[in-house]
Protein backbone atom coordinates (compact mmCIF):
# COMPACT_ATOMS: atom_id res chain seq x y z
CA UNK A 1 0.00 0.00 0.00
CA UNK A 2 1.71 3.20 -1.15
CA UNK A 3 -1.00 5.70 -0.40
CA UNK A 4 -3.67 5.32 2.23
CA UNK A 5 -6.20 8.01 3.09
CA UNK A 6 -8.62 7.56 5.95
CA UNK A 7 -11.63 9.72 6.59
CA UNK A 8 -9.89 12.92 5.50
CA UNK A 9 -11.67 16.23 6.16
CA UNK A 10 -10.78 19.75 5.23
CA UNK A 11 -12.65 23.03 5.33
CA UNK A 12 -11.77 26.61 4.60
CA UNK A 13 -13.10 29.64 6.35
CA UNK A 14 -15.35 31.60 4.04
CA UNK A 15 -17.29 34.79 4.57
CA UNK A 16 -20.13 32.86 6.25
CA UNK A 17 -18.07 30.62 8.49
CA UNK A 18 -16.32 27.35 7.65
CA UNK A 19 -16.91 25.94 4.18
CA UNK A 20 -16.36 22.20 4.10
CA UNK A 21 -14.40 21.06 1.04
CA UNK A 22 -13.47 17.47 1.85
CA UNK A 23 -15.88 15.61 4.11
CA UNK A 24 -14.42 12.23 4.88
CA UNK A 25 -12.32 10.94 2.02
CA UNK A 26 -10.94 7.44 2.15
CA UNK A 27 -8.76 5.92 -0.53
CA UNK A 28 -6.00 3.36 -1.01
CA UNK A 29 -3.53 3.02 -3.84
CA UNK A 30 -0.99 0.28 -4.40
CA UNK A 31 2.46 0.95 -5.74
CA UNK A 32 2.36 1.32 -9.52
CA UNK A 33 -1.37 2.00 -9.63
CA UNK A 34 -2.72 4.99 -11.53
CA UNK A 35 -5.77 6.95 -10.50
CA UNK A 36 -7.73 9.64 -12.27
CA UNK A 37 -9.43 12.18 -10.03
CA UNK A 38 -12.25 14.08 -11.65
CA UNK A 39 -14.79 16.54 -10.35
CA UNK A 40 -16.30 19.92 -10.97
CA UNK A 41 -14.34 23.07 -10.60
CA UNK A 42 -14.15 23.92 -6.94
CA UNK A 43 -14.92 20.40 -5.81
CA UNK A 44 -11.65 20.12 -3.92
CA UNK A 45 -9.41 18.11 -6.24
CA UNK A 46 -6.42 20.38 -5.84
CA UNK A 47 -7.06 20.58 -2.14
CA UNK A 48 -6.88 16.83 -1.85
CA UNK A 49 -3.68 16.69 -3.86
CA UNK A 50 -2.09 19.38 -1.73
CA UNK A 51 -2.98 17.48 1.42
CA UNK A 52 -1.43 14.28 0.08
CA UNK A 53 1.72 16.16 -0.88
CA UNK A 54 1.90 17.68 2.58
CA UNK A 55 1.57 21.18 1.19
CA UNK A 56 -1.41 21.86 3.42
CA UNK A 57 -2.83 20.70 6.76
CA UNK A 58 -5.87 18.46 7.04
CA UNK A 59 -8.56 19.13 9.62
CA UNK A 60 -9.13 15.48 10.38
CA UNK A 61 -8.30 12.00 9.17
CA UNK A 62 -5.02 10.43 8.19
CA UNK A 63 -2.84 10.25 5.12
CA UNK A 64 -0.10 7.67 4.84
CA UNK A 65 2.43 7.81 2.06
CA UNK A 66 4.74 4.82 1.90
CA UNK A 67 3.83 4.02 5.49
CA UNK A 68 4.67 7.52 6.74
CA UNK A 69 1.86 9.44 8.30
CA UNK A 70 1.88 12.75 6.44
CA UNK A 71 -0.78 14.23 8.68
CA UNK A 72 1.44 13.71 11.75
CA UNK A 73 4.60 15.23 10.32
CA UNK A 74 5.85 18.72 11.05
CA UNK A 75 6.92 21.21 8.42
CA UNK A 76 10.43 19.87 8.03
CA UNK A 77 9.20 16.29 8.03
CA UNK A 78 6.74 16.99 5.26
CA UNK A 79 9.42 18.79 3.27
CA UNK A 80 11.63 15.75 3.63
CA UNK A 81 8.78 13.50 2.53
CA UNK A 82 8.25 15.60 -0.59
CA UNK A 83 11.93 15.48 -1.39
CA UNK A 84 12.12 11.74 -0.97
CA UNK A 85 8.84 10.30 -2.15
CA UNK A 86 6.53 12.73 -3.86
CA UNK A 87 6.66 14.40 -7.23
CA UNK A 88 4.28 17.24 -8.04
CA UNK A 89 3.30 18.41 -11.48
CA UNK A 90 1.16 21.50 -11.82
CA UNK A 91 -0.87 23.11 -14.51
CA UNK A 92 1.41 26.17 -14.42
CA UNK A 93 4.58 24.10 -14.84
CA UNK A 94 6.32 25.94 -12.00
CA UNK A 95 9.79 25.65 -13.36
CA UNK A 96 12.59 27.58 -11.76
CA UNK A 97 13.22 30.50 -14.07
CA UNK A 98 16.79 31.06 -12.96
CA UNK A 99 17.95 27.57 -13.95
CA UNK A 100 18.49 26.15 -17.40
CA UNK A 101 16.35 23.28 -18.61
CA UNK A 102 19.13 20.85 -17.81
CA UNK A 103 19.50 22.17 -14.29
CA UNK A 104 15.75 22.22 -13.78
CA UNK A 105 15.60 18.56 -14.72
CA UNK A 106 18.47 17.64 -12.43
CA UNK A 107 17.23 19.79 -9.62
CA UNK A 108 14.69 17.55 -7.96
CA UNK A 109 16.75 14.40 -8.40
CA UNK A 110 19.68 16.05 -6.71
CA UNK A 111 17.47 17.30 -3.91
CA UNK A 112 16.27 13.73 -3.46
CA UNK A 113 19.86 12.51 -3.59
CA UNK A 114 19.04 10.26 -6.52
CA UNK A 115 20.76 11.85 -9.44
CA UNK A 116 21.11 9.45 -12.31
CA UNK A 117 22.55 11.08 -15.46
CA UNK A 118 21.74 8.10 -17.68
CA UNK A 119 18.12 8.12 -16.56
CA UNK A 120 17.90 11.87 -16.99
CA UNK A 121 19.38 11.61 -20.46
CA UNK A 122 16.93 8.91 -21.38
CA UNK A 123 14.08 11.09 -20.13
CA UNK A 124 15.17 14.20 -22.02
CA UNK A 125 15.54 12.10 -25.08
CA UNK A 126 12.15 10.50 -24.67
CA UNK A 127 10.55 13.91 -24.12
CA UNK A 128 12.35 15.48 -27.06
CA UNK A 129 14.10 18.06 -24.91
CA UNK A 130 17.66 17.37 -25.96
CA UNK A 131 17.79 20.53 -28.04
CA UNK A 132 16.49 22.69 -25.25
CA UNK A 133 18.87 21.75 -22.45
CA UNK A 134 20.79 25.02 -22.32
CA UNK A 135 17.76 27.24 -22.68
CA UNK A 136 15.90 28.95 -19.88
CA UNK A 137 12.23 28.20 -19.15
CA UNK A 138 11.05 31.56 -20.48
CA UNK A 139 12.37 30.62 -23.91
CA UNK A 140 10.22 27.48 -24.11
CA UNK A 141 6.68 26.94 -25.31
CA UNK A 142 4.03 25.77 -22.85
CA UNK A 143 4.22 22.18 -24.02
CA UNK A 144 7.97 22.17 -23.75
CA UNK A 145 7.82 23.65 -20.28
CA UNK A 146 5.40 21.00 -19.10
CA UNK A 147 7.65 18.30 -20.54
CA UNK A 148 10.52 19.77 -18.55
CA UNK A 149 8.34 19.65 -15.45
CA UNK A 150 7.52 16.02 -16.15
CA UNK A 151 11.16 15.18 -16.73
CA UNK A 152 12.12 16.95 -13.56
CA UNK A 153 9.64 14.96 -11.55
CA UNK A 154 10.29 11.57 -13.05
CA UNK A 155 14.06 12.06 -13.01
CA UNK A 156 13.85 12.06 -9.24
CA UNK A 157 12.08 8.67 -9.27
CA UNK A 158 9.43 9.58 -6.73
CA UNK A 159 7.25 6.73 -5.59
CA UNK A 160 4.15 8.91 -5.85
CA UNK A 161 3.42 11.43 -8.56
CA UNK A 162 0.66 13.96 -8.05
CA UNK A 163 -0.32 15.72 -11.25
CA UNK A 164 -2.86 18.54 -11.11
CA UNK A 165 -4.31 19.16 -14.57
CA UNK A 166 -0.83 18.94 -16.10
CA UNK A 167 -2.16 19.58 -19.58
CA UNK A 168 -4.75 22.17 -18.66
CA UNK A 169 -2.73 24.95 -20.23
CA UNK A 170 -1.94 23.11 -23.44
CA UNK A 171 -3.77 22.73 -26.70
CA UNK A 172 -5.41 19.38 -27.42
CA UNK A 173 -2.73 17.86 -29.67
CA UNK A 174 0.11 18.87 -27.43
CA UNK A 175 -1.83 17.73 -24.40
CA UNK A 176 -2.31 14.30 -25.93
CA UNK A 177 1.34 13.91 -26.71
CA UNK A 178 2.46 15.11 -23.31
CA UNK A 179 0.00 12.75 -21.59
CA UNK A 180 1.23 9.82 -23.67
CA UNK A 181 4.75 10.55 -22.59
CA UNK A 182 3.76 11.04 -18.97
CA UNK A 183 1.86 7.78 -18.69
CA UNK A 184 4.56 5.85 -20.49
CA UNK A 185 7.32 7.21 -18.27
CA UNK A 186 5.29 6.70 -15.11
CA UNK A 187 4.81 3.15 -16.22
CA UNK A 188 8.51 2.72 -16.92
CA UNK A 189 9.43 4.19 -13.58
CA UNK A 190 6.90 2.03 -11.81
CA UNK A 191 5.56 5.08 -10.01
CA UNK A 192 2.11 5.58 -8.59
CA UNK A 193 0.18 8.42 -10.24
CA UNK A 194 -2.73 10.49 -9.08
CA UNK A 195 -3.94 12.61 -12.00
CA UNK A 196 -6.45 15.40 -11.62
CA UNK A 197 -8.22 16.05 -14.87
CA UNK A 198 -11.39 17.44 -16.39
CA UNK A 199 -11.11 15.22 -19.42
CA UNK A 200 -12.94 11.90 -19.33
CA UNK A 201 -10.79 10.66 -22.19
CA UNK A 202 -7.70 11.22 -20.11
CA UNK A 203 -9.34 9.74 -17.06
CA UNK A 204 -10.16 6.56 -18.88
CA UNK A 205 -6.48 5.98 -19.52
CA UNK A 206 -5.85 5.55 -15.80
CA UNK A 207 -6.27 2.19 -14.11
CA UNK A 208 -8.79 3.60 -11.63
CA UNK A 209 -11.16 6.56 -11.68
CA UNK A 210 -12.61 8.52 -8.79
CA UNK A 211 -15.09 11.33 -8.92
CA UNK A 212 -15.07 14.02 -6.25
CA UNK A 213 -18.29 15.83 -5.52
CA UNK A 214 -19.73 17.43 -2.41
CA UNK A 215 -16.62 16.55 -0.52
CA UNK A 216 -16.86 12.81 -1.11
CA UNK A 217 -15.35 10.32 -3.48
CA UNK A 218 -17.38 8.01 -5.63
Partner 1 sequence: MIAAALSSLWSYWRRNPLQLATMIGGLALATALWSGVQALNTEARASYDAAAAVVGEGRYDQLVPRAGETLDEATYLALRRAGWQVSPVLVGSLDLGEVALHLTGVDPLTLPAGAGAAGQVAAVPLAQFLAGEVMLAHPADLAQFGTAQSIDLIASPAITQGMALADIGAAQRLLGQAGAISRLVVAPDQPLGRPPLAEVAPELLLQPAQGGSDTAQLTDSFHLNLTAFGILSFAVGIFIVYGAVGLAFEQRRAMIRALRTMGLSMRFVVVLLGAEIAVISLVSGAIGVVLGYLLAASLLPDVAATLRGLYGAQVAGTLQLHPSWWLSSLGIALLGGILAAASAIWRMSRLPLRAGRDPQVWAMQSARGQRLQLVLGLALLVLSGGFVVAGGSLLAGFARVAALLLGAALLLPPLLEVALHVAQRRARSVTAEWFWADTRQQLPRLGLALMALLLAITANIGVSTMVSSFRLTFIGFLDQRLIAEVYVSAETDAQSAAIEALADDGITVLPLLSVETRIGPQKVDLYGARVAPVYEQYWQFLAQDGDVWSRVAAGEAAIINEQFARRAGLWPGDSIPISPTVTLPIAGVVGDYGNPLGQVIIGEELFITLFPETRARQFGLIGGGADALMARLEAEAGFDPAQMIDQTALKAASLEVFERTFTVTSALNVLTLAVAGAAILMSLLTLASMRVPQLASVWALGVTRHRLGQLELARAVALAVLTLLFALPLGLALAYLLLAVINVEAFGWKLPMYLFPADYARLAVASIGAAALAALVPALRLARTPPARFLQVFANET
User: Residues in the site for partner 1, rule: CB under 8 A?
Assistant: 46, 50, 53, 55-57, 75-76, 79-84, 88, 90-92, 94-99, 103, 106-108, 110-112, 138, 164-165, 168
Q: Which is nearer to ligand ATP, 53 or 106 (CB)?
A: 53
Contact residues: Mg ion, CB under 5 A: 46
Torsion of CA 154, 107, 110, 84, to 10 degrees: -50
* Nearer Cβ to ligand ATP (61/84): 61
> Minimum CB separation from partner 1 for residue 191, in Å?
16
Please report, to the nearest 10 degrees, the dihedral formed by the alpha carbons of residues 208, 211, 212, 216 taken in order: -80
**Would you say 123 or 212 has its CB closer to ligand ATP?**
212
- Residue 174 CA to residue 83 CA, distance in Å, equals 29
**Binding flag, residue 46, ligand ATP (CB under 6 A):** yes
Cβ-based nearer residue to ligand ATP, 21 or 179: 21
Dihedral of the alpha carbons of 44, 25, 81, 133, in degrees to the nearest 10? -40
Does 21 participate in binding ligand ATP (rule CB under 6 A)? yes
What sign for the dihedral angle of Cα 78, 80, 86, 92? Answer: positive
Q: Which does residue 39 bind out of Mg ion, ligand ATP, partner 1, none, counting CB within 5 to 8 angstroms by kind?
A: ligand ATP
- Using CA atoms, how far apart are residues 23 and 213, in angstroms rounded to an integer? 10
How far, in Å, CA of 63 to CA of 6, rounded?
A: 6
What minimum distance in Å lies between the beta carbon of 71 and ligand ATP? 17
Least Cα distance to 153 among 203, 210, 208, 104 occurs for 104
For residue 199, state whether it binds ligand ATP (rule: CB under 6 A): no
Instruction: Name the segment binding ligand ATP (CB under 6 A); options: 42-50, 67-75, 141-149, 181-189.
Output: 42-50
In the chain, at which residue ranges do the beta strands (DSSP E only) sit?
3-14, 17-29, 34-39, 60-65, 68-69, 86-89, 160-164, 192-196, 208-213, 216-217
Considering the complex, state which of residue 162 and residue 185 has its C-beta at the smaller distance from partner 1: 162
Residues 5, 27, 36, 39: which binds ligand ATP (CB under 6 A)?
A: 39
Half-sphere exposure (CA, 13 Å, Cβ side) for 184?
Answer: 11
At what angle are helices 75-84 and 101-112 packed, to 10 degrees?
120
**Whole-number minimum distance, CB 113 to partner 1, in Å?**
9
Which of partner 1, Mg ion, ligand ATP, none lies near 84, with the C-beta cut-off 5 to 8 A by kind?
partner 1
Binding site for ligand ATP (CB under 6 A): 12, 21, 39, 41-47
Amino acid sequence: MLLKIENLTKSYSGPDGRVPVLQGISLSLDAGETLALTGESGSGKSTLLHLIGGLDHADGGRILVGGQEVTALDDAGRAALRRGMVGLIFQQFNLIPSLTVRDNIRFQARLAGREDPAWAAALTDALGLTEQLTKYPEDLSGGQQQRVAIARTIAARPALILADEPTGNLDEDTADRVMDQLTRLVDEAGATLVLVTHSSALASRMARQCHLSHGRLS
